[in-house]
Amino acid sequence: MSNIEIASTLLSVSFILFFAAYKLYKPEPPLEPGETTEERAAWRHIKGIGGIWFQILALVGFFIFLASLKYFGFWDLFRP
């Protein structure tokens, strides 16, 4: 495979990971009338799990994105 094919594959994978991480992120909804603190604590637990996966996927996607820039030759622009 050429460098362009490798770079485009890595770039595609990184965008898929970013999209998956975005879909896992769940913002906390507004407090409903009559909602108890136990229900809100359960929602925070679910959000915490999604938040961890969001961070992991986003970090992996970012490093794959940086690797794709290497194969595109982006880092060669900064060599003296």
Would you state the pLDDT for residue 27?
64
pLDDT digits (tens, 9 = 90+) for 38-79: 766 666 665 555 567 777 777 888 888 888 777 777 777 777
Give the number of domains in the chain. 1
Report the alpha-carbon distance of residue 26 to residue 45 in Å, rounded.
11
Q: Is residue 7 part of a domain?
A: no
Residue 54 contacts by C-beta under 8 Å, 6 or more apart in sequence? Answer: 21, 22, 24, 25
Q: Is residue 6 part of a domain?
A: no
- By residue range, what is the domain housing residue 63? 17-27+36-80
| Residue 21 vs residue 48, higher pLDDT | 21
Greatest Cα-to-Cα distance within the chain, rounded to the nearest angstrom: 65
Q: Is residue 74 part of a domain?
A: yes
Would you state the pLDDT for residue 13?
83
Q: Is residue 22 part of a domain?
A: yes
Query: Which of 50, 59, 60, 53 lies closest to 27 in space, CA to CA?
Result: 50
Give the predicted TM-score (pTM) of the model: 0.51
